[in-house]
A and B are shown apart, each in its own frame.
Chain A
Amino acid sequence: MNPPLLEVSNLQVEFDTYGGTVKAVRGVDFTVEAGRTLAIVGESGCGKSVTVQALMGLIPMPPGRIMGGSATLRGIEILGRKTVQGREVRGAEIGMIFQDPMSSLNPTMTIGDQIAEPLQVHRGYSHRQALARAIELLELVRIPEAARRAAQYPFEFSGGMLQRAMIAMAISCKPTILIADEPTTALDVTIQAQILDLLKDLQRETGMAIILITHDLGVVARMADDVAVMYAGRIVEAGSVDDVFYRSAHPYTLGLKQAMPTNHRDAVQKLMPIEGSPPDLFAPPVGCGYCPRCPHAMSVCAAQPPAPFSVADAHYSRCWLQHAQAPRTVVGLYTGGHHD
Chain B
Amino acid sequence: MVTVRRRDAAPEPPWVHGVSPAVPPAQISVIEAVFREILRNNTMWQYTLKRLIQGITTVWFIATATFLAMHNVPGDPLSAERGTSEAIRANLAARYGLDKPLAEQYFIYLGNFVKGDFGISFTQQNRQVNDIIREHFPVSATLGVLAVIFAALGGVLWGALTALYRNRLPDTIIMFMVILGISVPSFVFAALGQLTLVNLNALFGISLLPVAGWGTVSHMLLPALVLGMGTMAYLTRLMRSSMLEIIHSDYVRTAKAKGLPAARIFSRHQLRNAILPVITVLGPAIAAITTGGFVVELVFAIPGLGRYFVQAVQQLDYTVIMGTTVFYGAFLVFMVIVVDLLYGWIDPRVRLQ
Which A residues are within 8 Å of any B CB, using their own CB? 56-58, 82, 88-92, 95-96, 98, 100, 103-109, 117-118, 121-122, 142, 144, 153, 155-156, 158-161, 166, 169-170, 188, 190-191, 194, 197-198
Q: Do B251 and A107 touch (CB < 8 A)?
A: yes
Given A107-B273, A155-B349, verify A194-B256 contact (CB < 8 Å). no
Q: Do B273 and A98 touch (CB < 8 A)?
A: no
How far is it, in angstroms, between the C-alpha of A122 and the C-alpha of B276 when the chains are bound? 29
B255 interfacial contact with A, CB 8 Å: yes
Q: Do A158 and B7 touch (CB < 8 A)?
A: yes
Given A108-B272, A108-B346, A194-B2, verify A122-B259 contact (CB < 8 Å). yes
Q: Do B348 and A58 touch (CB < 8 A)?
A: no
When each residue 314-330 of chain B gets 1 if its CB lies under 8 Å from chain A and 0 otherwise, what string results? 00000000000000000
Q: Do B259 and A90 touch (CB < 8 A)?
A: yes
Q: Do B2 and A92 touch (CB < 8 A)?
A: no
Given A103-B251, A104-B250, verify A153-B348 contact (CB < 8 Å). yes
Within 8 Å CB of B273, what residues of A?
106-108
Within 8 Å CB of B253, what residues of A?
58, 98, 104
Q: Do B259 and A194 touch (CB < 8 A)?
A: no
Within 8 Å CB of A104, what residues of B?
250-251, 253-254
Q: Do B259 and A91 touch (CB < 8 A)?
A: yes
How far is it, in angstroms, between the C-alpha of A117 and the C-alpha of B353 when the chains are bound? 26
Closest Cβ of chain A to B272, distance in Å, is: 5
Q: Which of B114-122, B154-162, B178-186, B261-269 forms part of the interface with chain A?
A: B261-269
Q: Do A58 and B8 touch (CB < 8 A)?
A: no
A-B contact list, 5 entries, CB within 8 Å: A92-B259, A95-B257, A153-B349, A194-B2, A194-B5
How far is it, in angstroms, between the C-alpha of A161 and the C-alpha of B5 when the chains are bound? 10
Contacts A91-B260, A106-B251, A160-B7 aside, 5 further interface pairs with beta carbons under 8 A come to A57-B256, A82-B259, A89-B259, A108-B276, A158-B8
Within 8 Å CB of B5, what residues of A?
160, 190-191, 194
B65 interfacial contact with A, CB 8 Å: no
How far is it, in angstroms, between the C-alpha of A158 and the C-alpha of B11 when the chains are bound? 10
Within 8 A of A (CB), among B202-249: 249
Within 8 A of A (CB), among B1-19: 2, 4-5, 7-8
Q: Do B258 and A91 touch (CB < 8 A)?
A: yes
How far is it, in angstroms, between the C-alpha of A92 and the C-alpha of B353 when the chains are bound? 35
Of the candidates B4, B255, B348, which one forms a contact with A155 in the assembled complex, judged by CB atoms under 8 Å apart? B348
Q: Do A142 and B2 touch (CB < 8 A)?
A: yes
